Structure 1
C-alpha cells in the first residue's frame, strides 16, 4: 500500500510530486483532528458539564489531563518504535484518538470522561510527536520547511476552524454529536494515512552521521536552550491567552461578538505567522524564533499598557496571533537543525515539552489571575516572553542549512 512517494530516505527527487503533497495534506488533517479533539471542550464547556452532571471546572480539567498524557506520550513513542512502519503507527494512533473521542461521546460522568481523555492524550501525543519528523521525509529536501509548516498548520487551524466548527455542531445537534463526528473523521483519516503515506521505517543515517553523530545525547546546548525558549514562550502564551476573553471584556469593555471577531482575527494572523515563520525558519530558525519572542513580548506589553483602548487592543491581538502562530514551526525547525541525526527523538521531546508547557501555563495563569488580576498577568507573561528572547540571544547557534540535511 501507500502512495507513489519514495520509501528510500537516502535518495529523494529534487522536486516534490503531487502524491507527496497529498501525503503531507493527510498528515496535516491528522494534526488538525488531534488538536481539535483536545480543545473542543472549550467550545462546548457549559452543555458538556450539564450533560455529565459535573462542574465547569471539572470539565475544563479534562484539557489538562489530555495535555499531561500527551506530554508523557510524545517523547516516549519515538524511543519505542524501532523499525516499525511510521505510517501504520500514525494510523493506529488515529484509531486510539477515535476511541478516546468515542468514550467521551458516551460518557455518563466524570470517571468515563477521564478515561476517554487519557486515551485521547495517548493518540494525540503519538500523532503530534511524529508529524513533523514524518513530514520531513515525505518531500524533496528543498521543501522540508514548507512541509513542516503545513504539518504544524493543522495545530493552528484547529483553533481557527476546528473548535468553532465543533462548537457549531455541538450547538445544533448536541455536544455528544460533536465528539461523535470527530470519532468518525479520525477513523477516516487513519485509513487515508495508510493509503497516502509510503512505508516509512527507521530513518537511515548518512555515513557521516553513522560515524560521528548517531546516538549522541540530545542534551546538546542548542537543543537545551531551544527547549528553554519553548517553555518560556508557551507558558507565557497560554497563561495569558487562556484569559484573553475576560481581559477584552473587562479592560476594553467589548461585547461577546466583538471578542469573537478579535479571536478570529487572532487565528487568521496565527495562520499567516505559521507559514511566514516556516519560510524564514527554513534558513534561520533561531533568529526567526527570537523575532517571534520579541513580537509576543511587544504584543503583551501593548495589551497591558493600552488594553482599555479597543483600537489598540485589536492590533495587539493581531500581532500576538502572528507571532505565536509561528512559534510551533519555528521552534520545531530549531530542534531539527540542532539534532539532525535524531529528528524523531528530538521532535517527540519537543512536543512533550510543548504540551506540558500548555498545561503549566494555563494553571499558572489561573493562579495569577485569582491572586492579582488580569493586568499583572499580562505584565508577568510579557516578562516571560522577554526572558525567552534573552535566552535565545545567548544560546549557541547551529548554522547548518536545513534543506541540505538528509533527514
Structure 2
C-alpha cells in the first residue's frame, strides 16, 4: 500500500465522461431534497411527547415509528435499484420526492398510530432508495473530478439538516403545534420536488442492477474491505453518538444550556468536516479514509480521560464531529471510484450496511452502557473505529494487489 505516494490507478474515475458539463443547479436541488429527508427522519425525536399525547399512544409506541423508518430504509436501499432497473433515474428521484411529500402530509393528518406508521414507511422507502442512488446520481451530474465536491454539498445539507431538525422542530412544535411542523416540511419538500423537476436531466439506466449484482460485489476483495471499513466505522459512530448526551451530563457535568451549545458545536464541526472533505480528497482519499478513523479512535480514548473538563470535552467532541463529517463523504466518494460500473448496486449495499451498523452500534452501546457505564461505551467505540482504519488499509491494499 502506497500511503505516501499517489493513489493507485484502479481508484481513478472513468475518464470517458470527463467532458460532462456540471449540473450544479441539480446538485443543489438534490441537496434541498436531502435536507428535507433528514429533517423528516429526525423530527419525531423532538416532537415525540406531543405526538404521543395527540394520538393517545405511549411515547415508546410513538418511538417505534422512527425504528420502522430505519428498517424500511435498509430494505429499500437494497431493492429499489432492482425494482426500478428499467426506469429513467430522473423519474425515480422525483418519485422519492413525491413519497417524501406524501409521508409528511400523512403524518400531519394522522388520526391514529396506523396512519402515522404508514407515513413513516413511505419516508423509509424514499430515504433508503435515495441514499442507495446518491453516489451514482452525483456521477451523472458532474464530471469525475468534481464528484467529491458534489458529494460534499449533498452531505453538507445532511449536516445542516441534522443540526437544525431537533431544535427547530421543538421550537416550532411549541409555537405552532406538531402537525403544522410536518405541514411546513411537506411544503419544503414540494419546493425540492419542483426544483428537481426543473433541473434534473434525463438519466437512462446504463447498467441496470440485478439482485445478484448486489451480492456479487462482495466477491471483489477491495469492495469487501471497503464495506467492512464502512460497517465498523458506523458501529463506532452509533455507539458513541447515541450515548454522547449521557456522557456529557454524567461525566462532563454540563447544564442544559451548556449541553445545547456543545451539541450545536458538534453539528457545526460536522458541517466543517464535510466542506473540508473536498480538499482532503484532492490530497488523498486513501490517506483520509485511513487517518480519520485513527483520529476518531484517539478522541474516543481521550474523552473518558479528560471529558470531565468542559472546554476540553467541547473541543474533543467538535473534533470528533469534524472527522466524522469527512468520513461520511469519504466512503461514498470511495464507492464511486471502487465500483464505477456498479455504483447503484454498491450504493444500495453500502446504505444497507450503514443502517445495519447504526442499529448494531446503538444496541451494543446499550449493552455496554448497562455493564460498564458510558466510559466503556466510548472505549468500545475507539476499538470499532480502530478496526475501521485497519479495514480501510485492507481495502486500498487489495486494490493495489488486484
The TM-score normalised by the length of structure 1 is 0.87
**Structure 1 position 288, deviation (Å):** 1.3
**Structure 1 position 66, deviation (Å):** 0.8
Q: Distance in 1 between matches of 2:71 and 2:335?
A: 21
Residue 359 of structure 1: aligned partner: 359
Q: Give a deviation string over 1:256-306, Cα, whole Å, max 9, x none.
A: 111111111111110111122233235633321111111211121111212
Counterparts of 1:232-311 in structure 2, within 5 Å, are 232-282=232-282, 284-311=284-311
Residue 106 of structure 2: aligned partner: 103
Residue 382 of structure 1: aligned partner: 382
* Unmatched segments (≥5 aa) in structure 2: 1-14
Q: Distance in 2 between matches of 1:11 and 1:233?
A: 31
Residue 3 of structure 1: aligned partner: none
Q: Distance in 2 between matches of 1:360 and 1:101?
A: 28
Q: Distance in 1 between matches of 2:118 and 2:263?
A: 31
**Structure 1 position 242, deviation (Å):** 1.5
Q: Distance in 2 between matches of 1:156 and 1:377?
A: 24
Change (3 A) 1:199 1:230: same
- More divergent stretch after superposition (170-179 vs 258-267): 170-179
Q: Distance in 2 between matches of 1:107 and 1:371?
A: 40
Q: Which of 125, 129, 136 is equivalent to 1:126?
A: 129
**Structure 1 position 243, deviation (Å):** 1.9
Q: Distance in 1 between matches of 2:361 and 2:67?
A: 10
Give the secondary-structure state (helix, strand or coil) at the position aligned to 1:284: helix
Q: Distance in 2 between matches of 1:363 and 1:62?
A: 17
Residue 91 of structure 2: aligned partner: 88
The TM-score normalised by the length of structure 2 is 0.88
Q: Distance in 2 between matches of 1:174 and 1:239?
A: 32
**Structure 1 position 360, deviation (Å):** 2.6
RMSD: 2.3
Q: Give a deviation string over 1:203-242, Cα, whole Å, max 9, x none.
A: 379xxxxxxxx99931211111111111111112112211
Whether the 8 Å CA contact 1:156–1:267 is kept in 2: the answer is yes
- More divergent stretch after superposition (40-49 vs 292-301): 40-49
Change (3 A) 1:286 1:79: farther
Greater fraction of residues in helix: 2
Residue 216 of structure 2: aligned partner: 217
Residue 208 of structure 1: aligned partner: none
- More divergent stretch after superposition (278-287 vs 381-390): 278-287
Change (3 A) 1:282 1:49: farther
Whether the 8 Å CA contact 1:33–1:186 is kept in 2: the answer is yes
